Amino acid sequence: MKHAADYMIPVDLELGGKDPMIVCEDANINRAVEAGLYGSFLHSGQVCVSVERIYVHQSLYRDFVEKLRSKALALTQGTDFHSDMGGMTTRDGFENVKKQVENAIFHGAVCVTGETWKQAEYPFFHRQF
């Protein structure tokens, strides 16, 4: 970016980020659940603006988690017109996400869907590289 600025060259930077979503106490919980679902699973979560963390006010937390859990479990994965989402783009991407989830669980996170990586070892992939 610094080098491009010297020559007034437009530049687009992919800076990653941790893209949080915040659900305040006065939020419409149903809209927040829909936004969290969409933001987390858009393009199988493989977009630089995907929701990666959701902070929910404690008064809404249990209801929010249950509603989001229910909707997430209803999602379908595949390549047909009626599927909600496709698979991970690469096996390396899947392995990276798997490690992140395992690390989160190791450090105290709870997988509320009841699913584990051992039960669903490799989901559908768009293509192999």
Active site residue 111: no
Residue 119 burial (C-beta neighbours within 10 Å; 0-12, 13-18, 19+): exposed
Active-site position among 48, 52, 66, 111: 48
Instruction: Name the residue type at position 44.
Output: S
Q: Check 14, 52, 95, 121 and give the catalytic one.
A: 14
Q: Is 14 a catalytic residue?
A: yes
C-alpha torsion angle, residues 128, 112, 99, 35 (rounded to 10):
60
Active-site residue numbers?
14, 48
